[in-house]
Structure 1
Amino acid sequence: MKISRTSGETPQTAPAPQPKAQPAPAPKKPKAEAPKPRRKPKPEPEYEEEDDEEEEEEPHRRRFPVGCLVVIIILALLGFGAYKGLQFYNEVDGGTDLGTEQTVTIAQGSSVSSIATQLKDEGIIEHDWLFKQYVKYSGKADGIQYGDFTLRSGMSYNDIIKTISEVVRRATTNITIPEGTTAVGVAQIFVDAGLVDDVDTFLNCANGTDGSDFSQYDFWNQIPDNGRLMKCEGYLYPETYNVYADEDVYYYVDTLYSEFANKTADLADTIAAKGTTIDDVVNLASFIQEEAGLASEDAKVSACFHNRLESDDPLWSTHILQSNACSYITQDVENNYLWNSPTAEYYGWPEQGAIPEDVLALYDTYAISGLPAGPISNPGYAAIEAALKPDQEYLDEGYYFFVTGHPDTDVAGQYFYAKTADEHYQNCVKAGWAN
């Protein structure tokens, strides 16, 4: 084999040596190969380095499996639903641990919804909506009665429905109180119906003189102690009532007061806006009730009274109400509160021949300025509303007088209004009261 050399050396040829047998050399350990130098990486932007760090750390995080979380939530919901379902079932089915006996009074005409709410409020059941739905879908609503029932908390729904479906009605009676009836007249109605022993028993309760307390009503707390004859006058609301026939007198009086509070509740804002009081409104309304007699005339009569009480006209500077319904007028044709009404008879004034001076000083509307000490009857809602809302036209145009046609004339019951005393006199002639 020829080997070429460079740098000008002359090639030589040597004889090939003969190979000698020699022992095999021990294997040499391979030298550790020198590590190849790494190429220095080019610098990267800072934000990429941060990403690299996050990527390097990512495998070290331990994530909670989302699927497990969903399963746990579902199981929790199922468990809670099962728990509430068991609660509902136990309430419907009842239990062995019953509460003490309670008397629950279901009013006539009560709906299933109101009965369910009542049972919840009185602690018989926990879920009124559940009872309502149970009654609805069980088809037992039509069998529910009204009256007094003995119930206990923990009773099953079926036992409750069975109990309140039994006919245990107490005897009731209807009582009608006409609008404009005096307190004495109202008391007599209850006596005549056999519900109260005597007039004094009713009035003592209604006036609170026997210790009866009606302070749960706002109107009661606003009635001034100004020497009026009766605190209850004006507030025994005229209506037809269906009442229990075997109750005490407080129940009957409270029924009337409750109705008054309910019927006049919507007038509270108007009363406050006008800067007046419920007592002044009822007081004036009692005169409108007596003098008008017809709901269609209430607002006009109210305007005349308002003008008398509030006008700047010098002729009415004393602001005298001038109502024949309450004055020292001894004409039998007039239903005069002091002379010939049930109130006058109750106090015995006609028989005595004179009305006490201290009473006249409080009630004679021809002598005193403004409203009398208290109402003279129990007005209806239309008169109460008219006292607050007089006819605006008659108010603005300055009407002060009114008269109704004499019962024995062709204009009986007709109303005549006037602005001056002369016009009023002419109207009295037309109405058959003057020549």
Structure 2
Amino acid sequence: MWRAVASNGLTMLIVLLFLMAGVILWGQREYTAEGPLDQAICVQVPSGSTMSRISRNLAEQGAITSDTIFRLGADYSDKTQDLKAGSFLVPEGASMADIVDIITRGGASTCGTEVVYRIGVTRAQVQVRELDPATNRYVEKAEFVPGEDEAPEAFAQVREKADTRYRIALAEGVTSWQVVEELKQVDVLEGEVSEIPPEGMLAPDSYEVRVGDNRADVIAEMQARQEAILTAAWQSRADGLPLASPQEALILASIIEKETGTPEERGVVASVFTNRLEAGMPLQTDPTVIYGITQGRGVLGRGLRRSELRAETPWNTYVIRGLPPTPIANPGRASIEAAVNPDNTDFIYFVAKTLDPADGHNFAVTLDEHNENVAAYRRLEAERAND
């Protein structure tokens, strides 16, 4: 009798073990299987959240089929304690394993509402925008010019939310003085900038910042990025350039940046200045004259006078030969790369095609060709004046 009981007990144990193994295998398949989301969502993880709370929220949003399996999977993969605060984009069909990885990986938030402080060449602007998970595109909620416009209610609302993200977007061609002045107006930052950084050494890019970040630290990050870009570009430069150092490459890149905003033209414009340097010709570029007048402290806001084109300043490339002593703005990566790898052309001259800078330039090898292009441009100016 006892032998029969023991035999039956052993059989039951084996059955239970098989059932448990089956449940575990089923749970593993559920954890890694394609999830129920039919479109992407933005998952917010507040500071101090727990995996249990997030799993319940995900289940309520229909992102996972079981909050229990989600928690067990996170525990089994040893990621429960790695939960990161932020707003994270979860794509459609994401498995529970994918979602755990997304919310524990760390790094910058990938969705939600953000305030963007845009530092442009002619003005600064604050934009409130929100990522639409369904289209993976940002939708603008409000914008205003600080110091000119009253901040809209939408801005005040998002500033009160703990999960709002902040970003500083630096445009190509801004000067270091402009950057420092506009950073003073970014109300989420703290601290002072003791001196204006060297011209050209701030990388035009997008920088995510947090409330309470130090302005000097943001400047340091901008400098570090530009240094890395310049170093990499200089190491891959073309042979035989009339440039003696990375600094000279940065100076030329800043001139290219201010002369054209058309991406496909940068290499051609770079070739014109390279050809002029090799021939010992003055660069004769207006942006350098303007920098000699403003020193990068604001926008000139008018055309150049003949007397200014003849005035002797260290940056007036109508008067000096070769490069000016410093960059005249902060060039972007594309202009730096164009400066060290210019197109191979014989062009010596260029002038705008139309009165719209976006239309690019006409290039010429000879002075006669250039004069014809200039005459065509002058006719357009006269037509506008008559209109």
The alignment's TM-score, normalised by the length of structure 1, stands at 0.46
Structure 1 residues 294, 141: closer, same or farther in 2, change over 3 A?
farther
Instruction: Give 1:236 deviation, angstroms.
Output: 0.7
Distance (whole Å) between structure 1 residues aligned to residue 376 and residue 177 of structure 2: 35
What is the match of residue 14 of structure 1?
A: none
* 1:124-175 CA-partner distances (Å, limit 9, x unpaired): xxxxxxxxxx9882243762347xxxxxxxxxxxxxxx9x9xxxx8975211
CA distance in structure 1 between the aligned counterparts of 2:208 and 2:234, rounded to whole angstroms: 27
Instruction: Look up the equivalent residue of 1:430 and give its one-letter code.
Output: A
Task: Find the aligned partners of 1:136 and 1:425 in 2 and give their Cα distance.
Answer: 75
Are 1:406 and 1:432, in contact at CA under 8 Å, matched by a contact in 2? no
Are 1:263 and 2:229 an aligned pair? yes
For the pair 1:205 / 2:195, whether they are aligned, the reply is yes
Aligned to 1:180: 173
Matched, 1:426 2:372: yes
Q: 1:248 to 1:429 in 2, by over 3 A?
A: same
Contact map agreement 2:292 2:314 (CA 8 A) in 1: no
User: Partners of 1:193 and 1:138 in 2: how far apart?
Assistant: 39
Q: How far apart are 1:432 and its partner, in Å?
A: 4.0
Deviation at 1:248, TM superposition (A): 2.5
> Residue deviations 1:14-48, cap 9 Å, x none?
xxxxxxxxxxxxxxxxxxxxxxxxxxxxxxxxxxx
Q: Distance in 1 between matches of 2:84 and 2:177?
A: 39
Matched with 1:399 is 347
Deviation per residue, 1:78-98 (Å, 9 max, x gap):
xxxxxxxxxxxxxxxxxxxxx
What is the deviation of 1:242? Answer: 0.5
> For 1:421 and 1:136, how far apart are their aligned partners in 2?
75
Task: Look up the equivalent residue of 2:361 and give its one-letter code.
Answer: Y
Q: 1:47-58, aligned counterparts within 5 Å?
A: none
Q: Please point out which of 339, 346, 362 is paired with 2:314.
A: 362
Counterparts in 2 of 1:144 and 1:180: CA distance versus 1, 3 Å: same
Deviates more, 1:424-433 or 1:172-181: 424-433
SS of equivalent residue, structure 1 residue 343:
coil
Identity %: 25
Partners of 1:345 and 1:284 lie apart in 2 by 20
- Tell me, in whole angstroms, the C-alpha distance in 2 between the residues paired with 1:426 and 1:384: 31
> Normalising by structure 2, what TM-score?
0.51
Partner SS state of residue 351, structure 2: strand
Tell me what 1:333 maps to. none
Q: Give the gaps of 5 or more residues in structure 1.
A: 1-133, 147-161, 208-231, 312-316, 328-335
In structure 2, what is the Cα distance between the partners aligned to 1:135 and 1:277? 54
- The amino acid that maps onto 1:237 is A
Q: 1:285 to 1:141 in 2, by over 3 A?
A: farther
CA–CA distance in structure 1, aligned partners of residues 261 and 223 of structure 2: 23
Shift in Å, 1:264 = 3.4
Question: Are residues 272 and 303 of structure 1, via their aligned partners in 2, closer, same or farther at CA, if it must alter by over 3 Å?
Answer: closer
Contact 1:174 1:243 in 2 (8 A): yes
Runs of 4+ in 1 over 6 A off after TM superposition: none
- Residue 359 of structure 2, aligned match among 413, 416, 421: 413
Query: What SS does the corresponding residue of 1:417 show, helix, strand or coil?
Result: strand
- Cα distance in 2 for partners of 1:364, 1:250 equals 32
1:339 aligns with 2:293: yes
Residue identity opposite 1:281 in structure 2: A
Q: Match of 1:413, as an amino acid?
A: D
Q: Does 1:324 align with 2:276?
A: no
Output the amino acid matched with 2:318. Y
**Displacement of 1:255 after TM fit?**
1.2
What one-letter code is carried by the residue in structure 1 that aligns with 2:283? L
CA contact 1:405–1:412 (8 Å) conserved in 2: no
SS in structure 2 opposite 1:241? strand
Match of 1:30 in 2: none
Match of 1:307 in 2: 275
CA deviation profile, 1:408-435 (whole Å, cap 9, x unmatched): 6xx9623200112221111122234677
In structure 2, how many angstroms separate the alpha carbons of the residues matched to 1:418 and 1:365? 19
The structure 1 residue matched to 2:329, chosen from 358, 366, 377, is 377
Within the alignment, does 1:245 sit opposite 2:245 as a pair? Answer: no
Distance 1:234 1:342, change over 3 A: closer
* Equivalent position of 2:185 in the other structure: 192
| Equivalent residue in structure 2 for 1:140, among 64, 80, 94 | 80
Counterpart of 2:129 in structure 1 is none
- How well do the aligned residues superpose, as a CA RMSD in angstroms? 3.9
* Residue aligning to 2:23: none
Alpha-carbon contact 2:259-2:287 (below 8 Å) kept:
yes
Measure how far apart 1:342 and its partner are: 4.9
1:297 corresponds to: 265
1:236 partnered with 2:202: yes
Q: What's the CA shift for 1:293? A: 1.4
TM-aligned CA deviation for residue 272 of structure 1 = 9.3
Greater radius of gyration (CA): 1
Q: Which residues of structure 2 form unaligned runs of 5+?
A: 1-73, 87-103, 107-161, 383-387
Cα distance in 2, alignment partners of residues 365 and 266 from structure 1: 28
Q: Provide the C-alpha distance between the structure 2 equivalents of 1:416 and 1:272, rounded to a whole number of angstroms.
A: 25
Residue correspondences, number? 231
Distance in 1, matches of 2:325 and 2:347, equals 25
8 Å CA contact 1:404–1:412 kept in 2: the answer is no
SS in 2 for 1:205: coil
